Copies of this chain bind each other. A is one copy, B any other.
Amino acid sequence: VADQERRADYGYWLELSSRWADCDAYGHVNSPVYYSWFDTALTTLLIERGVLRSPESPSIGLCVESHCRFLAPVEFPETVDARVRIGKLGDKSLRYELALFRRGGDEVVAAGWFVHVFVDPVTRRPVSLTDRQKQAVADLCRSV
């Protein structure tokens, strides 16, 4: 289950900071913000590895499904440690699995997943990932 997530099971990481506006009237980071953190972590990953915004990468990833379990509150001005792995490397899609850890500790504050379908930026029709795009993230695939 999600509470047993370990940092070592996720090959990519990124620090994510909270903003004052993230908190809702209950004083903690509002749940939709976590999805924005997920989106930020995996899009940064895709840009860094040339899956997006590179000459050889003629597609963009659109989110078709996402999910999150919220395990502990996060408060401003905390920073969380996002971890990402590829749960499934499909022909036209990537499934990302993500976990957010409290900084400097092993507590998982949230765990979820996110599915991108890759499409042509103009027609918005699904297109196959190129070998180059697949290779760029292959090392992050979940070990079975």
Interface residues on A, range: 35 or more
Interface presence of A138 (CB below 8 A)? no
Tell me whether chain A's interface is mostly helix, strand or loop, or mixed.
Answer: mixed
Give CA–CA (A76, B24) in the complex, Å: 10
Interfacial residues, chain A to chain B (CB-CB below 8 A): 16-17, 19-21, 23-27, 30-33, 35-37, 39-40, 43-44, 47, 60, 62-70, 73, 76-77, 121, 124
Complexed CA–CA distance, A35 and B110 (Å)? 15
Task: Give the CA-CA distance A105 to B64 in the complex, in Å.
Answer: 21
Given contacts A21-B32, A77-B43, contact A64 B70 (CB under 8 A): yes
B70 touches A63 (CB 8 A): yes
Cβ B30 vs Cβ A27 within 8 A: no
Q: Are A40 and B24 closer than 8 Å at their CB atoms?
A: no
